Amino acid sequence: MNRQEFLSRVGIGVGAIVLTHCMTACSSGGDDTPAPSTPGTGSGGKTNLSLNLNDAANGALKQNGGFLYKDGVIIARTKDGEFIAVAQACTHQGTTVQFDAAGNRLHCPNHGSNFKIDGSVINGPAGSPLKKFKTSFDAATNTLKVTE
């Protein structure tokens, strides 16, 4: 083996090792945290929920302080009787938030983020607000609409 053959063989060997390490690192790296899904969109359309409060499934909203989840949205009735609706997935890592009626806020039980009822951040680690939805209540039909 002459010098040129030796260098050629060593170069191919080193290249193969570097390529193997790169491919291993690239395939195992990254954040495995799933991105929060877009709430309330169902089959990809815009959120347009209609909840009849006469239905047992929506009974939690008959009382002040009650809340429920529907299609990725947490819908609550504050202690003052106001309806609110925001995305239920915490903007930190996607955990489902809860409505804290006494504190008039939304709380994430995973790492302790808190949000105002308009979805804005009170404290992190979440750094982004929860998406807010519009609510309108028709007392004649006892129906709450939640839209974007």
Nearer to ligand FES, 62 or 111 (CB): 111
Q: List interacting residues with ligand FES (CB under 6 A).
A: 90, 92-93, 95, 108, 110-113, 125-126
Nearer to ligand FES, 65 or 125 (CB): 125
φ, ψ of residue 76 in degrees (nearest 5): -135, 160
Indicate the DSSP class of residue 111. Answer: T
CB 130, min distance to ligand FES, A: 10
Q: Quote the CA–CA distance of 52 and 61 in Å, as a whole number.
A: 10
Cβ-contact 68, 58 below 8 angstroms: yes
CB 97, min distance to ligand FES, A: 7
- 24 burial level (CB within 10 Å; 0-12, 13-18, 19+): exposed
Nearer to ligand FES, 84 or 87 (CB): 87
CB 98, min distance to ligand FES, A: 11
Nearer to ligand FES, 113 or 135 (CB): 113
CB 81, min distance to ligand FES, A: 27
Q: Quote the CA–CA distance of 134 and 121 in Å, as a whole number.
A: 18
Give the HSE-up count for residue 12: Cα atoms under 13 Å, Cβ half-sphere.
Answer: 5
